[in-house]
Structure 1
Amino acid sequence: MKSTSSSFLQALGSGLAGALILNIVHESVRQLRPVDAPRMDILGKRGLRKLLFKANAPQPDENTAYGLTLLGDVASNGLYYSLVGTGRGVWWRGIALGLAAGVGGVVLPGPLGLGDGPSNRTPQTKAMTVAWYLLGGLVAAGTSAWWSQATTEEE
């Protein structure tokens, strides 16, 4: 039987794997398809700038804002995907979390005042947004399943 700390570490590690894949795909495809690739980086920078403005904090330059956004994106998506957890049902949780994040990435930016364009510009943009977040959920689930199998074989 696994300890709570090893399960927690497995969930965090799996979530980080999903978040890293999500960001690698995002950054790669936006270079290859600038016309219709989702630009979650722009949404992140807009959100960061809004928060800093409301806090009367200084605005970072473009490169710093990009770096902070990327770091925040990996951290927040890693924590989100860590909800995949361990044990039975990781694949269903990965699918559900990925689809929820993808649909949220298409639907929520407008109502949050971040603009619709970066994730909602074209049908291809919407499809890629949902697909990439789903991929992140599946990678988190696959990593957790692999981790469970690897630790079971060690015992």
Structure 2
Amino acid sequence: MKKKKSARLPQALGSGLAGALVLTAIHETARRISPDAPRMDVLGMRGLRKILNQTDAPQPDHDTLFNLTMAGDILSNGLYYSLVGRGKKVWRRGALLGLAAGVGGVVLPGPLGLGEAPSNRTRQTQLMTVAWYLLGGLAAAGASRLWSKSRK
């Protein structure tokens, strides 16, 4: 018997959230340890400031900006990784989505006017950026598989 489509949504969202939390934990831990660690938090804060400037909205203080950025990162990455979904090719989808996000994290900030240094400063920074987004995608895939097994 096939599960209802509505039963798939909590699994997709939950596994996406798991991937986003793993990614954020890696980023936040590494930035405190390594000077070459990607600073996606800086890119996020720059992006949020840019949006607030364009809308003439008040600028929050640094701590509020950081917290809003972290919440936005977890939400947006969670929704993105929820595309991993479920099924037989979940590991492949997780890897491909993670790699695409990692490459985008290296390539897109410059053209978007956010600066290149936070994710593109050294070869090591670039590799960490791609690897960590890949790990987020694989964490989402793993969470999806665990969810599937626990529901059987």
TM-score bucket (shorter structure): over 0.9
Partner of 1:68: 68
Shift of 1:146: 1.1
Partner of 1:47: 47
Partner of 1:80: 80
Q: What is the TM-score when the length of structure 1 is the normalising length?
A: 0.96
Shift of 1:68: 0.2
Residues 55-134 of structure 1 aligned to structure 2 (within 5 Å): 55-134=55-134
Overall identity of the aligned pairs, in %: 66
Give the SS at the match of 1:111.
coil
Q: What is the TM-score when the length of structure 2 is the normalising length?
A: 0.98
Alpha-carbon distance between aligned partners in 1 of 2:54 and 2:68, rounded to the nearest angstrom: 17
Alpha-carbon distance between aligned partners in 2 of 1:150 and 1:109, rounded to the nearest angstrom: 39
Shift of 1:2: 1.7
Shift of 1:140: 0.2
Alpha-carbon distance between aligned partners in 2 of 1:2 and 1:131, rounded to the nearest angstrom: 34
Partner of 1:22: 23
Partner of 1:13: 14
Give the SS at the match of 1:57.
coil
Alpha-carbon distance between aligned partners in 2 of 1:52 and 1:78, rounded to the nearest angstrom: 23
Deviation track 1:101-145 (CA, whole Å, cap 9, x = no partner) reads: 000000000000000000000001000000000000000001101
Alpha-carbon distance between aligned partners in 2 of 1:58 and 1:146, rounded to the nearest angstrom: 43
Amino acid at match of 2:133: Y
Give the SS at the match of 2:151.
helix
Amino acid at match of 2:9: F
Shift of 1:5: 1.8
Shift of 1:87: 1.1
Amino acid at match of 1:116: E
Amino acid at match of 2:11: Q
Partner of 1:32: 33
Matched pairs, number? 151
- Runs of 4+, deviation exceeding 6 Å: none
Amino acid at match of 1:88: K
Shift of 1:24: 0.4
Listed as ranges, the gaps of 5+ residues in structure 2 are none
